[in-house]
Amino acid sequence: MSAWSKKKLGRRFFLGGAGAAIALPFLPSAVRMLEGRGTAHADHASCETPKRLLAWYVPCGIHMAAWRPTSTGRDFALPEILQPLEPVRGKMNVLTGIANMPARPDGPGDHAAGTGSFITATHVVKTEGSDIRNGVSMDQVAATHLGSCTRFASLELGIDGGGPAGGCDSGYSCAYARNVSWSGPQTPMPKMTDVRAVFDRLFDGFDPTASLAEIERRRAYRTSVLDVALEDANSLRPRLGTTDQRKLDEYLTAVREVELRISSEETLVCEVPGRPAEDLDLTARIDVMSDLQAIAMQCDLTRVITFMMANAGSNRSYPFLGIGDGHHSLSHHQGNAENHRKLTLIDRWEMERFSYFLQKLDSIEEPGGGTLLDTCAVFLSSEISDGDRHNHDDMPILVAGTAGGAWETGRHVVYDGRPPVANLFTTLLNAVGVPSTRFGDDGTGPLTI
Amino acid sequence: MRFRSLTALAVLSLAACDGSLLDPRGSGPGTVDGWGPDGPSGPGGPTVPAEPGRVTMRRLNRSELDHTVRDLLGLEHPVSTDFPADDRGYGYDNNGDVLSTSALHVELLASSAEEWIDEALGTTEAPGPGRERILTCDAATGGEACARTILTAFTRRAWRRPATEPELTRLLGMNTIAQMHGDGWPEGVRLALIATLISPHFLYRVELDDPAVTGPERVSDYELASRLSYFLWASAPDDELLDLAEEGGLHDETILRAQAERMLDDDRARSLVDDFAGQWLYTRLVPEHDADDATFPEWTPDLARSAQGEMERFFAAFLEEDRPVEEMLTAGFGFVDDRLAAHYGVEIPTDATRDEQGFARVMLPDTRSAGLLSRAGVLAVTSQPNRTSPVKRGVWVLEQILCSPPPPPPPGVEGLEATEPREGETLRERFERHRSDPVCASCHSVMDPIGFGLERYDAIGRYRETDNDGAIDDSGLLPGFGDFTGASELGAMISSDPRFPRCVTRQMMTYALGRGVEHRSDEAWVDLLTEDMLANGGTLRALVLEIVTSPPFRMRGADHGAEDE
């Protein structure tokens, strides 16, 4: 694959030493070398059969007229936007009629509010200041339960870091517009947007050539410097005011999590692919992010991933699709046929990317049979439904994979009565083995897929 | 001169402690010395609680991390490129309330700190840029005494204050871990240096309350040194500031002003261009502007960098040459390189002096003599990818220049712009066709007429006489002020609008304090500092000096606990 370079390894490689660089496509999961994992997680029965939860975000809603299948059940015709998913249609469901009403903003700001609520199904507080407040997102609920099985409790990935100046959306904090993953009411999980940085992070520290003594020494040193930092923080904390204490608590939580990661580090040795090339175009960057998500799960480095194809209300233009207008500007289509045509092209291109990802997952065989996709529950949606109306009552939703056979696939399921997406999140969480009975602001129980 | 001393601050603290309200312009007990009726700004003004506000403990953002590591370790390259983007609050990414810390930050800091230290130290054979300064003795032979010397000096610079004895002991304890694994003092020192950078005392700008004071109080001299250095340099205090702090003299107003002047003249004040103006004026957005390749093939990454370079130099000129800020929207001088000169259709005189990047200072034609309002960078980033946006240009003027944000649009009607043009119809005519809806008109009648005045510049800032073959009408209306025609008249109008200097103050205060101008006393401080700036030439330098000597900058309010949230 041209997007990947075999030549150069990241600088961090040389700190930990490097595994052998190999070219993609990935080796099957069977080559994973499990070293120490069994003992480290022997008490985690749920770690044994991996189930994975992912959420993909696309910006500015979807042109629903070219998305919604005209018939229900199994043999529906794929509408124009969904056609790129033909190769994997048997492994996914189209769900229509589901609402995310907590995503409605207070006054203007649908994009930021809808993105903040994307997988929290919680109404966010409209503010640019210290009183940001959201719920815990579905992926982070899952990470709390599944995180100890893997080196990374979760990965947060995206394409756009966010503009370096200017407001985000009508008085809503940029934290809402840029982050779908929230580990606490005030703690967005920032995402990584550079493919090489993601690669370096995933494969930092793996060193199959290091002696046990060397690994032990490195771990002891890394843990010790963090211990000093923890002691500094603990002795500082009582001397701080209330607000500052809350800031320091974020730090304390983060340091403890990194310590945990280091203590379980290097027990898993994974074959390392080449480092991604630089200067990729947009399509290649998204596809490489897909590759990285696939290998992160294939190597069992994480079981929980969120990915944002852009940030809230993205105004990116798509010259390679012949579209010079900004996406957000276009999404206010005014019922204009030419705008509908362009939106359909953008949405269809987004589904081409998603299809690439699903096919990648489906090409990787699992040791226990089936494919990596079969072990996943992948949720895809946007912050709003229609770009002109900014409605949240009929969201565009796909669910791919079955988390090990939790539901039938290949169907278009139409829901009556606008059930809350929070209930779908309960279903997805339960499917990956995470207890949840009510989710978000308006959840009432699981939704049958 | 105001703030001749801060001796009255103790009185202020006591007065605020019992909840009494203070008139910052009043005289007598309980006022800040100098804020009397005979002060430069004269009598009058609102009665407000004379509280300085309270900033939330700030994590170093990416820019501050880059600069701090550069000054501490000698690493010249940006070190934070892998770190996630920082959120902004009230328009700036140094806002303590919104700078959160995730495991990703700490993980990156931990692995990066190891790299930074190793790169800075290098080896005996191939020393790194920080080796000589940090390793002032040989730990292999000097043992604990040498380690203590090294770490005492390093923590003072890294933590922007002297370390306490327990803190030093903790760091020296790294040697025990090193010895357990067969390493000696040099490795113990290396680990302690790494630990210093992972510590919250490095990552955060910690300010502590004096337990003996319950009301507002002066920040310590070391804390004031950091406030100065992160405001003016986005970096750590240098040795001169730390030495002054150690002597306890930094709150002396003469010293404080002299230091601020020194710092403004230092190269590190470049951060005011990159970080303050970059966010205030949107200079940072220029290289990221997504112009449509098909409509505007001329807008290349090189041209974008030239347009950004001009804005940066233009702002820097106001900082360095003590020009009144009101000229920012009326000035006809500019900085162009060959690329931008061609874009503007001007010639660079052959005898013009050029800087290292090829920019020459020139007088631009009348079409470009409305300062920022007539320059390509601003005009491009306030456009859509394939056309101008009177809305975005109007909003930029209202929000960034006048601090008078337009009323927000009602939900669901944001899409007025997306209707196809008719033949021979200018964008303005198209917009006006769609403003007939009274619901929409309520906001657009405020924003659009400002942007219409800039319609003679296309979406990448080229001057034009027609739009879609129709003649351009660039008459406009500045709400609350009056009618105008074209960029020059708009610029002249804004430069005489009292909202403009007040907005400059508000923007710089927000950046200087690292918090929103949202405290109950803040509006009064903005008024007073604006008057002081105008009384002292109306320059950015005057404003900086007024800010750094003001109570909000030199003091912190009491912790009100949960009610502050």
Q: Which of A398, A399, A378, A383 is nearest to A311 (CA)?
A: A383
Interface contact A258-B180, CB threshold 8 A: no
Alpha carbon B98 to chain centroid distance? 15
Q: What are phi and psi of B308, to 5 degrees?
A: -65, -40
The confidence score (pLDDT) of residue A42 equals 32
The confidence score (pLDDT) of residue A36 equals 31
Q: Report which residue type is found at B433.
A: R
Please report, for residues A278, A369, B28, B35, B471, the alpha-carbon distance to residue B38 in angstroms, rounded to integers and kept in the order given.
Answer: 63, 86, 13, 8, 55
For residue A25, pLDDT over 50 is answered with: no
Pairing of strands A272-273, A21-22: parallel
The confidence score (pLDDT) of residue B39 equals 29
Lowest mean pLDDT among A127-136, A247-256, B372-381, B402-411: B402-411
The answer to whether A235 contacts chain B (CB < 8 Å) is: yes
The answer to whether A77 contacts chain B (CB < 8 Å) is: no
Contact assessment for residue B150 and residue B136, using Cβ atoms and an 8 Å cutoff:
yes
Q: Report which residue type is found at A154.
A: S
Structure tokens at B173: 């304890």
The confidence score (pLDDT) of residue A368 equals 84
Question: Which helix or strand (DSSP H or E) is residue B362 part of?
Answer: strand B360-363
Interface contact B564-A334, CB threshold 8 A: no
Contact assessment for residue B178 and residue B193, using Cβ atoms and an 8 Å cutoff:
no
> What average pLDDT does the segment A339-348 reach?
98
Task: Kindly report, residue by residue over A367-407, the tens digit of the pLDDT.
Answer: 889 999 999 999 999 999 999 889 999 999 999 999 999 99
Cis check for the bond before A87: say yes or no (omega within 30 of 0). Answer: no
Angstrom distance (rounded) from CA B560 to CA A161: 35
Say whether B80 sits in a helix, a strand or coil: coil
CA-nearest residue to A172 within chain B is B89
ipTM of the complex: 0.88
Arithmetic mean of pLDDT over chain A: 87
Residue with tokens 């022997």: A42
Residue with tokens 């070398």: A33
The answer to whether A174 contacts chain B (CB < 8 Å) is: yes
Say whether A394 sits in a helix, a strand or coil: coil
Q: Which of B403, B390, B378, B366 is nearest to B494 (CA)?
A: B403
Task: Kindly report, residue by residue over B137-162, the tens digit of the pLDDT.
Answer: 999 999 999 999 999 999 999 999 99
C-beta atoms surrounding A174 within 10 Å = 26
Angstrom distance (rounded) from CA B217 to CA A338: 62
C-beta atoms surrounding B471 within 10 Å = 9
Residue with tokens 């933590």: B159
For chain B, how long is the longest CA-to-CA vector? Answer: 85
CA-nearest residue to A166 within chain B is B91
The answer to whether A164 contacts chain B (CB < 8 Å) is: yes
Say whether B259 sits in a helix, a strand or coil: helix
Give every residue of chain B whose pLDDT is below 70, as ranges. Answer: 1-50, 408-421, 434, 436-437, 439, 560-565
The answer to whether B438 contacts chain A (CB < 8 Å) is: no
Alpha carbons within 13 angstroms on the beta-carbon side of residue B215 total: 18
Interface contact B87-A131, CB threshold 8 A: no
The confidence score (pLDDT) of residue B432 equals 79
The answer to whether B298 contacts chain A (CB < 8 Å) is: no
Contact assessment for residue A401 and residue A56, using Cβ atoms and an 8 Å cutoff:
no
Please report, for residues B390, B406, B448, B498, the alpha-carbon distance to residue B445 in angstroms, rounded to integers and kept in the order given.
Answer: 11, 10, 6, 21
| B contact residues 304-343, partner A, Cβ 8 Å cutoff | none
Say whether B539 sits in a helix, a strand or coil: strand
**Residue of A155, A221, A278, A334 to mutate when probing chain B, most B C-beta within 10 A:** A221
Give the neighbor-by-neighbor strand order of the sheet with A155-158.
A155-158, A304-308, A52-58, A376-382, A397-400, A92-96, A411-414
CA-nearest residue to B406 within chain A is A170
The answer to whether A263 contacts chain B (CB < 8 Å) is: no
Per-residue pLDDT band for A264 (boundaries 50, 70, 90) equals low
The confidence score (pLDDT) of residue B561 equals 58
Structure tokens at B427: 């964008």
Q: Which of B204, B58, B561, B105 is nearest to A188 (CA)?
A: B105
Please report, for residues A401, A447, A449, B39, B405, the alpha-carbon distance to residue A407 in angstroms, rounded to integers and kept in the order given.
Answer: 9, 11, 6, 76, 50
Interface contact A247-B57, CB threshold 8 A: yes
Q: What are phi and psi of A446, to 5 degrees?
A: -65, 155
Please report, for residues A111, A247, A369, B432, B449, the alpha-carbon distance to residue B438 in angstroms, rounded to integers and kept in the order given.
Answer: 24, 46, 63, 12, 16
Q: Which of B400, B434, B412 is nearest to B511 (CA)?
A: B400
Q: In A, which residues are within 8 Å of B192 by CB distance?
A: 228
Angle CA(B398)–CA(B400)–CA(B403) in degrees, nearest 5?
Answer: 60
Angstrom distance (rounded) from CA B404 to CA B416: 22
Instruction: Tell me how far apart the terminal alpha carbons of chain B are, to the nearest angstrom.
Output: 36
Residue B274, burial from CB neighbour count under 10 angstroms (0-12, 13-18, 19+): middle
pTM, to two decimals: 0.89
Minimum-distance CB partner of B194 among A201, A216, A225:
A225
The confidence score (pLDDT) of residue B178 equals 96
Q: What are phi and psi of B70, to 5 degrees?
A: -60, -50
The answer to whether A211 contacts chain B (CB < 8 Å) is: no
Please report, for residues A316, B271, B516, the alpha-carbon distance to residue A191 in angstroms, rounded to integers and kept in the order given.
Answer: 19, 26, 25
Minimum-distance CB partner of A324 among B102, B203, B386:
B386
Minimum-distance CB partner of B565 among A130, A201, A387:
A130
Structure tokens at A318: 């798509």
The confidence score (pLDDT) of residue B411 equals 56
Angstrom distance (rounded) from CA A228 to CA A230: 5
Q: Report which residue type is found at A152.
A: F
The answer to whether A132 contacts chain B (CB < 8 Å) is: yes
Q: Report which residue type is found at B437.
A: D
Per-residue pLDDT band for A216 (boundaries 50, 70, 90) equals confident
CA-nearest residue to A332 within chain B is B415
Task: Kindly report, residue by residue over A56-108, the tens digit of the pLDDT.
Answer: 999 999 999 999 999 999 999 999 999 999 999 999 999 999 999 999 999 88
The confidence score (pLDDT) of residue B148 equals 98
Residue with tokens 């292999």: B140
The answer to whether A183 contacts chain B (CB < 8 Å) is: yes
The answer to whether B411 contacts chain A (CB < 8 Å) is: yes
Q: DSSP assignment, residue A57?
A: E
Say whether B241 sits in a helix, a strand or coil: helix
Q: In B, which residues are within 8 Å of A248 by CB distance?
A: 57, 200, 204
Contact assessment for residue A139 and residue A306, using Cβ atoms and an 8 Å cutoff:
yes
Interface contact B106-A236, CB threshold 8 A: no
Residue A83, burial from CB neighbour count under 10 angstroms (0-12, 13-18, 19+): middle
The answer to whether B200 contacts chain A (CB < 8 Å) is: yes
Angstrom distance (rounded) from CA A449 to CA A438: 16
